[in-house]
């Protein structure tokens, strides 16, 4: 996995030679993205510590494992909707949960419901109108269940 960031650094190196202005712009933009990621990353780190301390695998399996039922849909859907920050800041936590017994379906539902952002709804309504936003939001939540169920079926063999 170190190959990927090293390759990107090499690309930036070449870019600085051939298009220094664009390279500076790209690097500055990357810096902004990284800074914006810091606070959510810290939040995720604290959450991971708390989960490692207080949540036993049995509880994770009960709420997020295969066969968790409606809990395995509502809980990750709500978590996805209220989660903040870029998605890649949440990957360490999701990996941790998966390692402790969470099934693929709730993780997929969480990821999909990150598209629903209550605090951004006013902006979306301003551009597209509230009727559009309501329809799209409902369809996205239903879509998340479809993605979760499909993933569960398609990866069932892998989990045994």
Partner 1 sequence: MKIAISADGPNLKAQVGHRFGTSPYLIIVDVASGDIEAVPNPGASGQRGAGMQAVVLCISRDVKAVLTGYCSPAAQKQLRANGIEVLTSLNGTVGEALEKYSKGELRTSARVKPIKGKAIVARGALIHAIRSSAKQFTTLLPVLVGVVLVLGLFNAFASRDFLTSIFSGNPVLDTLWGACFGSIFAGNPINSYIIGGELLKYGVSLFAVTAFVVTWVTVGLVQLPAEIAALGRRFALIRNAISFILSIPIALLTVLILNLIGGAP
Q: Give which of 114, 136, 112, 113 is closest to 124, Cα–Cα.
A: 136
Q: Interface with partner 1 includes 78 (CB under 8 A)?
A: no
Q: Which of residues 126-155 bind partner 1 (CB under 8 A)?
A: 127-129, 131-132, 135-136, 139-140, 143, 146-147, 150-151, 154-155
Q: Which of residues 27-66 bind partner 1 (CB under 8 A)?
A: 27-31, 33-34, 36-37, 41, 45, 48-49, 52-54, 56-58, 61-62, 65-66
Q: Which two tokens stand for residue 81?
A: 């909707």
Contact 79, 69 (CB under 8 A): no
Report in angstroms how near the CB of residue 88 gets to partner 1 at its nearest: 5
**Cβ within 8 Å of residue 39, ≥6 positions away:** 85
**Number of other residues whose CB lies within 10 A of the CB of residue 134:** 12
Report in angstroms how near the CB of residue 74 gets to partner 1 at its nearest: 19
């Amino acid at each position: 996995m170190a190959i990927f960031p090293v390759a990107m650094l090499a690309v930036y190196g070449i870019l600085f030679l051939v298009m220094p202005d664009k390279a500076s712009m790209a690097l500055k933009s990357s810096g902004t993205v990284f800074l914006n990621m810091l606070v959510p990353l810290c939040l995720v780190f604290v959450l991971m510590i708390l989960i490692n301390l207080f949540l036993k695998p049995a509880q994770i399996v009960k709420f997020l494992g295969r066969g968790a039922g409606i809990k395995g849909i509502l809980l990750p859907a709500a978590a996805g909707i209220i989660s903040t920050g870029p998605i890649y800041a949440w990957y360490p936590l999701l990996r941790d949960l998966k390692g402790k017994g969470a099934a693929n379906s709730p993780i997929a539902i969480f990821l999909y419901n990150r598209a629903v952002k209550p605090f951004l709804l006013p902006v979306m309504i301003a551009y597209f109108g509230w009727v559009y936003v309501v329809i799209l939001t409902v369809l996205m939540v239903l879509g998340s269940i479809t993605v979760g169920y499909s993933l569960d079926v398609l990866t069932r063999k892998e989990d045994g």
